[in-house]
Amino acid sequence: MEKHREDRVASSTDERTLNRLVLRARIAEAEPMRYTPAGMPAITVQLEHESQQSEAGQPREVKLMLKAVAFGVQAERLAQLELGSRWRFEGFLATPRQRKQIVLHIQDMQPDPDSF
């Protein structure tokens, strides 16, 4: 009986901490790479996504622009990519202090296989 309770607690903890986004997008804009006060590379980019999704059983064209940031090795990789190139980005969403815009914090990126 206790084992099932532990499973439920672990499962509910995972659900409460889940914040994961996978997005195929192109790099629309990129600011120059900068460094944090601790000396870590950082970069801010604008990602552009277009797709067709199903909503309430109907097709819907979806377009969005999303601000994204990367730090460390991911920032160095992102700084070398071409504007307009398409990638599969993974990370988490956050709102910077005293701002209302959601920002994707990129933790991994891979070439979009559908763009080749």
| Domain parsing of the chain, residue ranges | 20-115
The answer regarding whether domain 20-115 maps to CATH 3.40.50.360 reads no
The two most distant CA atoms of the chain are separated, in Å, by: 56
Q: Which amino acid is at 54?
A: S
Q: pLDDT tens per residue, the chain (116 residues)?
A: 445 544 454 555 567 789 999 999 999 999 999 999 999 999 999 999 999 999 999 999 999 999 999 999 999 999 999 999 999 999 999 998 877 889 999 999 999 887 64
Backbone angles phi, psi at 71, to 5 degrees: -130, 155
Among candidate residues 80, 64, 71, 74, the one with its CA nearest the CA of residue 30 = 80
CB atoms inside a 10 Å sphere around CB 48: 15
Instruction: Give the span between the Cα atoms of 78 and 71, in whole angstroms.
Output: 9
